[in-house]
């Protein structure tokens, strides 16, 4: 992201509105004849408020009844109506984030990684994105196969992960000690300069003569990480393929991505036994026709597992537009950043919960990933990109760690909605209350409710044959689990 993108973010956020799936139910099950009844269970509740006086606080349990508390429940959850399977929630382990985390003392690093990735004692981040080579948040420009000007390397003999071996790979290994089931998505910001039309890491396009070599570059990356004991679950062929800037970027139009996938990357993955998913697009909501074009190609289609989106322009409903065209393919939300252009804790908390975490999952996303996992107090280190972005945590030069509003927004999902969970049906209710519900692999229900109003609200809930009343406090987000 460059400065212009950051400014556009301010104007685009207002365009992101909650869109509910058309097939969410609104009709309650027939209630038993007798109101009330005995308590049959308990729901645990965690709350963060916009004032910051409650930060993922564990509150007293809510009683669950076997008979209705009201003849007209407002919020109706149907666990039998299942939608997409969740793969995880998290952020990006950029080069800058890895450098900062790796620079901590061993004790502080261990404590931070447990806080971020342990699902029991921490917030249970389960999915990370990474840049394949340098991004605008790396310590320098590089790819895994840089060559002197005028030279090429068709056989990729000079391929090397040496830059990643300094910080990124060691931090991934440390994370896997805390959470071995971590999923990773890799996205390149640029191919090596010698493969490109302008011979530069900045802008330009991939030359057609190097398509096959670049496909082998991905295989070497996946196999190289595997040799370090790190599995790459998915890749996108290009981060933000319609954007170029004075940091590593590369244009890849939809037709070019189709050709690259169907004639080179897909067949090579298949022949080499590479099981890593190929995810198309990886750019803003405003161009859903791009992934639709990729998936509409009959030859590219079998190799593509889904489409990825960012939130710097357009409307989250674009994800449902692609889902409606290709309901059998996955959808992934992969990037949004907070920053110094928006500094109010409460407003940022509400915006992220409403638009990113509730908004994307109600529009079929299997992930919700933020941008930098960690940055310093100067919004860096940067590599010619965004100068005022904010990480999920801030690691100050003193070693102090600040947990930002993005941390708490993420936590309300990552800790309680585990990989393999399914989004389940729940109706939206009026008056500034937003929700989404999931059923975890262990059968537990996780319900996230945002109350963005200035008033407390009692909400009668029906979930199958269970009934409960929730006191949703003003200006807060709550996650209930039962």
**CB-based burial of residue 428 (10 Å sphere; 0-12 exposed, 13-18 middle, 19+ buried)?**
middle
Can you say how many angstroms the Cα of residue 424 is from the centroid of all Cα atoms in its chain?
19
pLDDT (0 to 100) of residue 20 = 44
The arrangement of secondary structure in 3-17+84-424, i.e. its CATH architecture, is: Alpha-Beta Barrel (3.20)
Question: Tokens 């931090």 belong to which residue?
Answer: 171
Other Cβ atoms closer than 10 A to 142: 20
Question: pLDDT of 384-393, one tens digit each?
Answer: 999 999 999 9
**Span 31-42, mean pLDDT?**
69
Task: Report helix, strand or coil for 239.
Answer: coil
Q: What are phi and psi of 453, to 5 degrees?
A: -95, 175
Beta-strand pair 374-375/393-395: parallel
pLDDT (0 to 100) of residue 14 = 40
Q: How far is CA 147 from CA 153, 154, 156, in A?
A: 7, 11, 10
Q: Give dist(CA 230, CA 233) in Å, integer.
A: 9
Question: pLDDT of 421-447, one tens digit each?
Answer: 999 999 999 899 999 999 999 999 999
DSSP H or E run through 462: strand 457-463
Question: pLDDT of 177-202, one tens digit each?
Answer: 999 999 999 999 999 999 999 999 99
Closest listed residue to residue 391, CA positions, set 114, 166, 92, 117: 92
Dihedral sign from CA coordinates of 190, 333, 128, 300: negative
DSSP H or E run through 448: strand 445-451
Closest listed residue to residue 187, CA positions, set 321, 86, 277: 277
CB-based contact 429:455 (threshold 8 Å): no
Q: How far is CA 338 from CA 5, 134, 272, 343, 364, in A?
A: 12, 21, 39, 8, 23
Other Cβ atoms closer than 10 A to 375: 27
Closest listed residue to residue 351, CA positions, set 321, 320, 316, 394: 316
Q: Give dist(CA 123, CA 338) in Å, integer.
A: 19
Beta-strand pair 306-310/277-284: parallel
Q: Which two tokens stand for residue 250?
A: 């590369």
pLDDT (0 to 100) of residue 71 = 81
Split at pLDDT 50, 70, 90, the class of 412 is very high
| Mean pLDDT for the chain overall | 93
The DSSP secondary structure of 48-78, one letter per residue, reads EETTSS-SSEEEEEEEEESS-SSSS-SEEEE
Split at pLDDT 50, 70, 90, the class of 36 is low
Question: pLDDT of 198-238, one tens digit each?
Answer: 999 999 999 999 999 999 999 999 999 999 999 999 999 99
Other Cβ atoms closer than 10 A to 400: 10
- Residues ≥6 apart with Cβ < 8 Å to 429: 74, 75, 435, 459
pLDDT (0 to 100) of residue 151 = 98
Q: Name the residues annotated as catalytic.
A: 240, 335
- Buried b / exposed e over 27-61, threshold 16 CB at 10 Å, is ebeebeeeeeeeeeeebebbbbbbeeebebeeeee
Domain boundaries, given as residue ranges, for the chain: 3-17+84-424
Peptide bond into 100 cis (omega under 30): no
Beta-strand pair 234-235/183-188: parallel
Q: Give dist(CA 192, CA 153) in Å, integer.
A: 10
- Buried b / exposed e over 115-137, threshold 16 CB at 10 Å, is bbbebeebbbbbbbbbbbbbbbb
DSSP H or E run through 82: strand 75-85
Q: What are phi and psi of 447, to 5 degrees?
A: -120, 125
Q: Give dist(CA 215, CA 198) in Å, integer.
A: 19
The 3-state secondary structure of 95-141, one letter per residue: HHHHHHHHCCCHHHHHHHHHHHHCCCCCCCCCEEEEEECCCCCCCCC
Split at pLDDT 50, 70, 90, the class of 143 is very high
**Span 66-76, mean pLDDT?**
90
């Amino acid at each position: 992201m460059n400065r212009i993108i950051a400014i556009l973010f301010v104007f685009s956020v207002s365009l992101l509105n909650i869109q509910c799936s058309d097939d969410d139910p609104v009709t309650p099950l027939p209630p038993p004849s007798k109101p009330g009844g005995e308590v049959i269970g308990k729901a645990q509740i965690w709350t963060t408020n916009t004032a910051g006086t409650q930060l993922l606080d564990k509150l007293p349990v809510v009683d669950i009844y076997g008979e209705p508390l009201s003849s007209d429940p407002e919020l109706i959850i149907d666990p039998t109506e299942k939608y997409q399977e969740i793969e995880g929630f998290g952020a990006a382990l950029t080069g800058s984030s890895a450098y900062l985390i790796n620079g901590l003392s061993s004790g502080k690093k261990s404590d931070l990684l447990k806080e971020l990735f342990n699902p029991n004692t921490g917030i249970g981040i389960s999915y990370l994105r990474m840049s394949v080579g340098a991004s605008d948040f790396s310590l320098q420009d590089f790819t895994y196969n840089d060559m002197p000007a005028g030279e090429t390397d068709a056989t990729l003999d000079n391929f090397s992960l040496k830059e990643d071996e300094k910080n990124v790979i060691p931090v991934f290994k440390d994370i896997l000690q805390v959470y071995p089931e971590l999923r990773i998505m890799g996205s390149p910001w640029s191919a090596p300069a010698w493969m490109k039309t302008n011979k530069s890491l900045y802008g330009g396009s991939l030359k057609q003569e190097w398509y096959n070599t670049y496909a082998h570059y991905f295989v070497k990356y996946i196999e190289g990480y595997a040799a370090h004991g790190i599995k790459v679950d998915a890749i996108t062929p290009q981060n933000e393929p319609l954007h170029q800037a004075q940091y590593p970027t590369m244009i890849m139009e939809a037709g070019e991505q189709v050709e690259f996938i169907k004639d080179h990357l897909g067949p090579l993955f298949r022949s080499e036994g590479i099981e890593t998913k190929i995810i198309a697009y990886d750019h803003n909501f405003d161009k859903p026709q791009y992934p639709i074009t990729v998936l509409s190609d009959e030859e590219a289609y079998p190799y593509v597992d889904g489409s990825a989106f960012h939130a710097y322009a357009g409307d989250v409903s674009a994800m449902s537009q692609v889902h409606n065209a290709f309901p059998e393919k996955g959808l992934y939300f992969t990037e949004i950043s907070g920053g110094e252009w928006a500094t109010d804790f409460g407003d940022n908390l509400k915006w992220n919960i409403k638009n990113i975490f509730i908004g994307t999952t109600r529009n079929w996303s299997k992930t919700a990933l933020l941008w930098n996992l960690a940055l310093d107090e100067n919004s860096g280190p940067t590599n010619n990109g965004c100068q005022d972005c904010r990480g999920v945590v801030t690691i100050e030069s003193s070693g102090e760690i600040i947990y930002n509003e993005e941390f708490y927004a993420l936590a309300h999902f990552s800790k309680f909605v585990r990989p393999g969970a399914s989004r389940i049906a729940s109706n939206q209710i009026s008056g500034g209350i937003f929700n989404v519900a999931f059923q975890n692999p262990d059968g537990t229900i996780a319900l996230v409710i945002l109350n963005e109003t200035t008033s407390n609200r009692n909400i009668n809930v029906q979930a199958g044959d269970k009934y409960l009343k929730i006191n949703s406090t003003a200006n807060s987000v709550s996650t209930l689990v039962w």
